């Protein structure tokens, strides 16, 4: 006899963004296969030079005595100022913004959900479907209801425009405590303009709910509209917005520091900030060494930060747009969403697959046994099934998310690998 584990644990399955990697790690032939892991946004680019310099100097000046103490629960002044400096580079006056440093953006997400809805809450959080899977999973962990306003992929790879009347009606009917948007969207790669954020802000103020924006990919946009941010919603454009806003910040994506595990919870509501710090005291503090490395960005000029943003945009734009075209050539009839922002696009097999096709099964096949030989070397591809990004998993049955995170030479092999894996899967 052994003690029972909880029902929650018994029902828990790996996240859609980690499942393929776990399956691949159990393959007997894994050491002979080059895996191209595009399932999780684990960026393989170098960090910002200032952060690299801090990391390389660890143990020489700072932490040289081997002592690594807790920081304040709110985070170090320098790490907090780094996020505010980054937001300030958008032309935002940050003097009335409050920042809490967390262990990665994921911890900021969970903390936000506790502060907006509370655990075991019947008052939901509203998302735009499909939504980043961790919000859905944290909803299960915290017993917080999630409601969604659906977005649909058109045959040309674009997303339908947001239906603001539908969003407003759903808020009035379901009474969520907050509405979360991801302007540079994960998982879709859709971009929400500043005008769109302003319109959503008006809906939130009208209905007296929090407006939450996950801005981990801010400045990664590929059109001509410029960046957008919750912090660029002006009071004169959306009266009453002040004090209603929360953003999720991260060192992971724009700054290429996924493993540093530094995130931030920023708000213009001082009471929300004070209570979030109180809640976070139970965590003691975020990673002290990570805060020290990230804190270097507090001292970078806005000009230097904007130069960095442009370099990151150019890298992803030059990678994603040709990749989309090459995938379409390799698999005629496939739908590939237009990469407008962030580092993702979605593949939809709905017009070329059989009725019983399930993206999760195909992903499992690629991870567990699929392989493609290119110039004498075996490759396989890991993707994230979109089932886990919808509140109703049946919506994502024919879809997969692709993340632009491997070195460029591996990503360029994706069309050939994907085409052959799909052909082999159909012939099973």
| Separation CA 401–CA 188 (nearest Å) | 8
Residue 400 lies in a domain: yes
| Separation CA 21–CA 191 (nearest Å) | 28
Bridge-based pairing state of the strands 377-382 and 384-385: unpaired
Neighbours of 170 (CB within 10 A): 17
**Domain C-terminal end among 272, 301, 330:** 301
- Whether 315 and 248 map to the same domain: the answer is no
**Domain C-terminal end among 246, 281, 301:** 301
- Whether 11 and 155 map to the same domain: the answer is no
Neighbours of 424 (CB within 10 A): 15
Helix ranges (H only) for 69-126 are 77-88, 104-116
**Cis-peptide, bond into residue 319, ω within 30° of zero:** no
Average of per-residue pLDDT values in the chain: 94
Q: Are 416 and 372 in contact (CB under 8 A)?
A: yes
SS3 state of residue 43:
coil
- Whether 199 and 324 map to the same domain: the answer is no
Q: Which of 401, 369, 403 is nearest to 385 (CA)?
A: 401
- Whether 85 and 226 map to the same domain: the answer is yes
- Whether 368 and 256 map to the same domain: the answer is no
Residue 365 pLDDT: 96
Q: Which domain holds residue 243?
A: 49-301
Residue 421 lies in a domain: yes
**How many residues are there in the chain?**
428
- Whether 210 and 86 map to the same domain: the answer is yes
Residue 66 lies in a domain: yes
Q: Are 384 and 17 in contact (CB under 8 A)?
A: yes
Residue 372 pLDDT: 95
Exposure b/e, 101-115, CB count within 10 A at least 16 = b: bbbbbbbbbbbbbbb
Residue 10 pLDDT: 87
Residue 392 pLDDT: 84
- Whether 86 and 229 map to the same domain: the answer is yes
- Whether 170 and 195 map to the same domain: the answer is yes
- Tokens for 65? 């005595």
Residue 150 pLDDT: 87
Q: Which of 384, 389, 419 is nearest to 401 (CA)?
A: 384
> Residue 148: beta bridge partners?
127
Residue 2 lies in a domain: no
User: What is the CA 326 to chain-centroid distance, rounded?
Assistant: 25
The CATH number of the domain holding residue 27 is: 3.90.1150.10
- Whether 264 and 392 map to the same domain: the answer is no
Q: Which of 248, 249, 187, 185 is nearest to 221 (CA)?
A: 185
Residue 62 pLDDT: 82
Give the chain's domain count: 2
Spans of the chain, pLDDT less than 50: none
**Domain C-terminal end among 301, 317, 335:** 301
Full-model pTM: 0.94
- Whether 70 and 194 map to the same domain: the answer is yes
| Separation CA 337–CA 152 (nearest Å) | 11
Residue 404 pLDDT: 94
């Amino acid at each position: 006899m052994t003690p029972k584990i909880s029902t929650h644990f018994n029902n828990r399955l790996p996240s859609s963004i980690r499942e393929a990697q776990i399956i691949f790690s159990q393959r007997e032939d894994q050491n002979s296969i080059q895996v191209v892991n595009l399932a999780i946004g684990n960026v393989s680019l170098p960090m910002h030079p200032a952060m690299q310099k801090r990391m390389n100097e660890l143990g020489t000046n700072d932490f040289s005595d081997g002592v690594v103490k807790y920081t304040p629960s709110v985070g170090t002044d320098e790490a907090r100022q780094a996020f505010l400096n980054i937001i300030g580079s958008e032309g935002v006056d940050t003097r009335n913004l409050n920042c809490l440093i967390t262990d990665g953006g994921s911890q900021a997400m969970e903390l936000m959900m506790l502060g907006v809805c509370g655990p075991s809450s019947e008052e939901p959080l509203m998302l735009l479907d499909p939504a980043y899977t961790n919000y859905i999973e944290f909803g299960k962990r915290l017993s917080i209801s999630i409601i969604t306003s659906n977005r649909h992929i058109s045959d040309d790879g674009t997303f339908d425009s947001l239906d603001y009347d539908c969003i407003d009606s759903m808020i009035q009917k379901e009474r969520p405590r907050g509405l979360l948007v991801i302007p540079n969207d994960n998982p879709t790669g859709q971009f929400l303009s500043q005008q769109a954020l302003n319109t959503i802000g008006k809906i939130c103020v009208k209905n007296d709910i929090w407006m939450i924006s996950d801005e981990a990919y801010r400045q990664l946009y590929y059109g001509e509209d410029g960046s957008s941010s919750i912090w660029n919603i002006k009071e004169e454009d959306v009266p009453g917005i002040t004090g209603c806003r929360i953003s999720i910040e991260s060192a992971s994506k724009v700054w290429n520091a996924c493993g540093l595990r530094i995130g931030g919870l920023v708000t213009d509501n001082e009471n929300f900030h004070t209570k979030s710090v109180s809640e976070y005291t139970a965590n003691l503090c975020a990673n002290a060494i990570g805060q020290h490395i990230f804190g270097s960005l507090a001292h970078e000029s806005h000009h230097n930060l904007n130069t960095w943003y442009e370099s990151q945009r150019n890298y992803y734009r030059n990678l994603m747009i040709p990749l989309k075209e090459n995938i379409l050539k390799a698999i005629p009839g496939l739908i590939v969403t237009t990469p407008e922002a962030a580092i993702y696009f979605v593949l939809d097999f709905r017009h070329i697959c059989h009725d019983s096709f399930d993206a999760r099964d195909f992903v499992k096949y690629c991870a567990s046994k699929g392989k493609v030989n290119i110039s004498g070397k075996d490759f396989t591809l890991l993707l994230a099934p979109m089932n886990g990004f919808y509140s109703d998993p049946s919506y994502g049955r024919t879809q997969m998310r692709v993340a632009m995170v491997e070195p460029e030479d591996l990503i360029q092999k994706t069309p050939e690998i994907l085409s052959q894996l799909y052909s082999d899967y159909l012939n099973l």
